[in-house]
Chain A
């Protein structure tokens, strides 16, 4: 970890991620205006001293809406990923550790699920469960589980045949001890890295669902929904689409670059050099 900041990827990723996290934690408190306050005289304004990022079709201050929307957007991404990674890793570790027909059965089912694209799968689940933030989050996490299960299984498999695991088996250790003390600590880093990168996908899927009207409902300040609502006014004031769109991009990019950098620095070939 000492050399974590040696690459531009890590520096940019961490910088973007800090901005996003700052907005997610303090955003609602530092927003200059009420995000829901209409101002009929100042509709669809460009950036000015009064409204730094301009206003939307109802004259609401965009900066304030972005800041208040940050917590729910980031929470959606992180929440969906945590749940998805949790479900996926448990399935993957069980499959990887037990092997044999248990493994084959689980993996064949997951292969079938993996064949469905993430977004389509999410849409399917949301359609069944009905719209709303919580359901969208659950849908994303379920869509993530098969991929995470595959990654955690391969991480477990690569560790399972190492000599130190075989040494533990030969010693007569219990299966639970072997998984907890020998396998998991060494299989964890690829899972953590993948999870970090997946937060960005979750944010984007969340935004997409918001845009399609299946996620957050108006007057929520969720970023994807903001893009959707402002779409018809795009040519009168591009700012009201560009600002939430860029925010989504920055958040996604931040998590993605940070994950990449994390993977590089956790790679033992590079960190113990």
Chain B
């Protein structure tokens, strides 16, 4: 790789001293329930010019690590020992005032979501220039010239124009480039990347990763790359550390860790990464029978009002924004149909139309009967079509116990007689592999994965014929994600319900779906059988998506897990 050839040219003395070394560092948080350890005895070294990855699931302490390096911890954090040294200097001894000078100049950070890490009321140019003026003592004119050069290096085509824009006038990828340009602007010794691609679409994320590799080669910066995604990390780092519950359970060169993971946790993590070649779905229905048919379905957000239509009929199409247009496909009984697309592609809009939450134009046919509009959807349809949402925290009413939440569809549709509701709830909980005692708990007492299981149980309680899963695994950790996906397939197999599974994760959907629909900018661009995913007549966009996702062979030991 180019990274390695460049490394050889770098002065040898520079590589000897480590850019960052963390020695036996521990951190706890003071809470109402006493001290809760977040990091325990962390040892981590980043040699000069190298990139080290830190991988862990939510709650593993990876973000705490980033903040302790930046010396920006919340007031209830208690450091219980250890050292953090930047180029040999002890950061723990610096005052907050001294750290203000080090942050930005010698260390900088790139955050997950570029839309929240940029100030929406300040032009992008000023945000970069401010850093340069503060840390490098440039004048305003110099800083703007430098900012333009920095943006040009990140591959933005018209850097001068970009400087004059506000954050909302740039796309997510462009914004993240600006953030990265800012981070590199003062030529820091260390850059911390905290999930820099998680909030971006697959294709953009891929470009950002390439940009990162290119900039790293050019500047020879040392970096700590934090992510929950092992596959992604493997593409940018030299060494990887796996963090689990505040302890580094495994470290080593990327290939080593991937091929021969030693810690059981790493093995579990790698096994859970979706692998498109490992099919876990149910058998396809023997005889294809159409359950739902969508024809020319369109959703017009901000549609023109009646008065506008009357006076300016020619503008009717250009007012507002089409969330989906001319979408046509059918769902067969008992099949799992995957709908793939980036954010804003209209995949969730289609979910809302099917669930009767969104007004639509066009023809929707359910079980041979025509459904004219959202208002024509009756309770019988609503029982037969159920939806599971993305965020389990938001889809369960926080003031109702799990038992009450599950009892609602049973009562509403009269699925079982009233005296058997309690028994049925226990059955439902068992069906999603949760203990029956959970019926007496409130949602906030459950973990994210458990809550999503409850939401799935609620959907299946109505004994539906079609379940719409809108990004149900997106908010979950990798290991939980795999379990939820498997549960869904099992339920689908047992009940014979059809499922529309909406996701941005191509690898995952290729494990589950019988057929896959690809959406882009509100239009259906491709629709194919899962076996044909790699055939030549795929749409160019589908091909780009397939090429952008990292696919890696699972290690031998975990292939059977």
Contact = CB atoms under 8 A, between A and B. Distances in A.
A268 B455 CA distance: 21
Nearest to A166: B357
B383 interface: yes
B162 interface: no
B440 to A, nearest CB: 17
A272 B397 CA distance: 15
Interface in A167-199: 167-173, 181-182, 185-186
A169 B378 CA distance: 11
A172 B385 CA distance: 10
A171 B389 contact: no
Contacts of A171: 382, 386, 408-409, 412, 462
B369 interface: no
A170 B355 contact: yes
Contacts, number: 55
B449 to A, nearest CB: 17
Given A167-B389, A170-B386, A172-B379, A268 B398 contact: yes
A167 B390 CA distance: 12
Contact of A164 (B383, B386, B395, B444): B395
B394 interface: yes
B158 interface: no
Contact of A173 (B355, B390, B398, B412): B412
B309 to A, nearest CB: 17
Given A171-B408, A171-B409, A182 B356 contact: no
B32 A163 contact: no
A185 B394 CA distance: 15
Contacts of B390: 163
Residue among B31, B378, B389, B455 facing the most chain A CB atoms (10 A cut-off): B389
A172 B391 CA distance: 21
A112 interface: no
Contacts of A169: 356-357
Interface string B246-283: 00000000000000000000000000000000000000
Given A186-B399, A273-B31, A273-B32, A167 B387 contact: yes
A164 B409 contact: no
Interface residues of B, number: 29
Interface string B440-470: 0000100000000001001000100000000
A172 B383 contact: yes
Contacts of B340: none
Interface in B357-387: 357, 378-379, 382-383, 385-387
B396 interface: yes
A48 interface: no
A3 B412 contact: no
Nearest to A164: B397
B394 A163 contact: yes
A163 B395 contact: yes
A170 B399 CA distance: 19
Interface string B131-148: 000000000000000000
Nearest to A165: B397
B395 A167 contact: yes
B168 to A, nearest CB: 21
Contacts of B408: 168, 171, 173
A182 B383 contact: no
A172 B381 CA distance: 9
B412 A172 contact: yes
Interface string B538-551: 00000000000000
B463 to A, nearest CB: 13
A166 B462 CA distance: 16
A172 B382 contact: yes
B382 A3 contact: no
A170 B357 contact: yes
Contacts of A236: none
A170 B397 contact: no
Contact of B32 (A3, A168, A185): A3
Nearest to A172: B382
Contacts of B400: 181
Given A272-B444, A273-B31, A273-B32, A170 B398 contact: no
Contacts of A273: 31-32
Interface in A137-181: 162-164, 166-173, 181
A170 B32 contact: no
A164 B402 CA distance: 13
Nearest to A270: B32
Contacts of B357: 166, 169-170
Contacts of B383: 172
Nearest to B470: A163
A163 B398 contact: no
Contacts of A182: 397
Interface in B139-161: none
Contacts of B355: 170
B473 to A, nearest CB: 15
Residue among A162, A164, A272 facing the most chain B CB atoms (10 A cut-off): A164
Contacts of B455: 167
Nearest to B393: A163
Contacts of B395: 163-164, 167
Contacts of B389: 163, 166-167
Given A172-B412, A186-B397, 7 more contacts: A163-B391, A164-B397, A166-B389, A170-B357, A170-B385, A172-B382, A181-B397
4 A-B pairs closest in CB distance: A172-B382, A163-B395, A172-B379, A163-B394
30 contacts: A163-B389, A163-B394, A163-B395, A164-B394, A164-B395, A167-B387, A167-B389, A167-B455, A167-B458, A169-B357, A170-B357, A170-B385, A170-B386, A170-B387, A171-B382, A171-B409, A171-B412, A171-B462, A172-B356, A172-B378, A172-B412, A181-B397, A181-B400, A185-B397, A186-B397, A268-B398, A268-B444, A272-B444, A273-B31, A273-B32
